[in-house]
Amino acid sequence: MKRLGVLTTGGDCSGLNTVIQRLYRGATLRGWELVGILDGTDGLCATPPRAITFDNTTLPIEAARLAGSFLHNGRTGALNFETAAKTGDLARFNRKLRKSLLELKLDAVILIGGNGSLSLAWCNREIYSGLQLVCIPKTIDMDIPLTDKTIGFDTAVQQLTSFCDQLMLTARSHHRWFVTQTMGRDCGQLALNAGIAIGATAILIPEIKFDVNSLIKHIKKSPRDYGIILVSEGISLRGHSGRPADMISRKLTAAGLENRTAYPEHTQRVGDTTASDRILAARMADCALRAIENNETYVMTAINNCKCETVSLADFFASGDVTTDPNIPDLKTSDAYVSPDDPLLEIATNMGIYLGETK
């Protein structure tokens, strides 16, 4: 009988509980045991490691649709890769993770995380030596290379779309523009997808340069005197500081455009998991379990050309834009961004949405 460990790391999102529940069901049908590691790498640093063994009552199927992680994702400031690096304790931290995994007597580890967590897993792969390591990509940012979809993204787009749908009604009532700041870090996929869904007047994303004066002219030429300007949190405006939405709002106010700012914040990370994300979670859970059956290790589940299959973590890391992690010195993270040939860019342009300096 195989003994599997599963943990969720990084930021939370909808779909985590679905994939955990599907992993438990699939493991049980194979006669395997599933151990849930609480609080991600923080839980592995506890003595003894914080973990639970799943049974039929641990995570009911009706709760699998809920957002967040039943296993938790760790506490701010707790011992993890970031805090260990800041205190110069990274080597000791890695040894502790390794020791805890051995104490739990695991045959395989399923790590559900974003591009930072997956990059960390690959760069510190000696921690998992002798174990099978299978990663499942989840993030509302959609910034993971080598997969067309990530768990949590579709629900986040729906959450942001619903938020903006309501804003549009009050915007119309008051002849007002709403500058709405989205999550997404340095990737504009969340803003781009939601912006097309709501019919935004403008979508500003980190991948595309924009001119404020051109933006203002576009808004003033709009057939409406209300609407939404979606601003991804990763954009910058030369010579200005503060939150991106505030910076754009001040420019619009100076140009005589009545506006307000709106921050959906962590509502983008929650919401009942959409059917699309639940199906994706089930497919990736099944793919991860098949990978363990086939004795694969150091792999990531991925959706490409509608097929769910594994790709190597080495290929994942090498295929992205490898940059220095802003929080962990000497660590590199593999990032994906909105491609210049993304068909949604042309669709947005054809809808009359201002994007910036596109070709």
Contacts of residue 95, Cβ cutoff 8 Å, sequence gap at least 6: none
What SS3 class is residue 231? strand
- Would you report the helix, strand and coil content of the chain in percent, each value rounded to 5? 40, 20, 40
Q: Are strands 202-204 and 108-113 parallel, antiparallel or unpaired?
A: unpaired
Q: What is d(CA 149, CA 303) in angstroms, rounded to the nearest whole number?
A: 6
Structure token pair of residue 256? 């005589």
Instruction: Assess contact for 158 and 274: CB atoms under 8 A.
Output: yes
Is 141 part of the annotated catalytic residue set? Answer: yes
CA-CA distances (angstroms) from residue 9 to 136, 173, 315, 318?
A: 11, 42, 21, 21
Can you tell me whether residue 83 is helix, strand or coil?
helix
Phi then psi for 279, rounded to 5 degrees?
A: -65, -40
- Residue 320 dihedral angles phi and psi, to the nearest 5°: -90, -175
Q: Which of 12, 39, 42, 141 is catalytic?
A: 141
| 92 neighbors 79 (Cβ within 8 angstroms) | no
- State the DSSP code for 151: B
In order, the DSSP letters of 31-56 are T-EEEEETTHHHHHTSSS--EEE--T
| 3-state SS, residue 334 | strand
Q: How far apart are CA 359 and CA 351, in angstroms?
A: 16
User: What is the four-CA torsion angle of 7, 13, 17, 22, rounded to 10 degrees?
Assistant: -80
Measured CA to CA, the distance from residue 99 to residue 103 in angstroms comes to: 6
3-state SS class at 229: strand
User: Which residues are part of the catalytic machinery?
Assistant: 141
